[in-house]
Structure 1
Amino acid sequence: MWSFSTYKDKRYWILLITAIIILVLFAVFTPDYILEKTNFVPFSMLIFIVLFWSTYHLWKYFGDKKKRNNTDDSCDL
């Protein structure tokens, strides 16, 4: 389920700032004739949101897995 722990994760803030910069650059530099198409903006926003959250969860999964493996290996003598 959803929790506030996401906002405490620095991976989220790194990706959010990067995503906002990319979104602003996309809005500024995309030609008007592309933005005027009816389905382009909702479809691109959907793709953008899916990429953001999938990147966040993959990064979190592999980072936690690496941390878990490092702590398990350090206990062996």
Structure 2
Amino acid sequence: MESINLHQLLPVSGERKPARATRRKVNGPATAALLIKMATEILTASPTLRHQTNITLTDLAAAEKVRKALLKTSLK
């Protein structure tokens, strides 16, 4: 069996600058609203998970009201 030389697998490049992620403006209320929406959809589709976490459909309806309020504040 031939041994694989790691240097053969990696391409040789000149200068490599580290990739820099650009920062975007954070919108806390919009992010919270999105997370609430995702959790509500997951819990609505899974009665077992709702039962395990002791969350009722009434709780999910209240969370939806909070989500809508957060979206209103994020648009201002």
> What TM-score does the superposition give when structure 1 sets the normalisation length?
0.36
Hey, which of these two has a bigger chunk of helix by percent?
Answer: 1
Larger C-alpha radius of gyration, 1 or 2?
Answer: 2
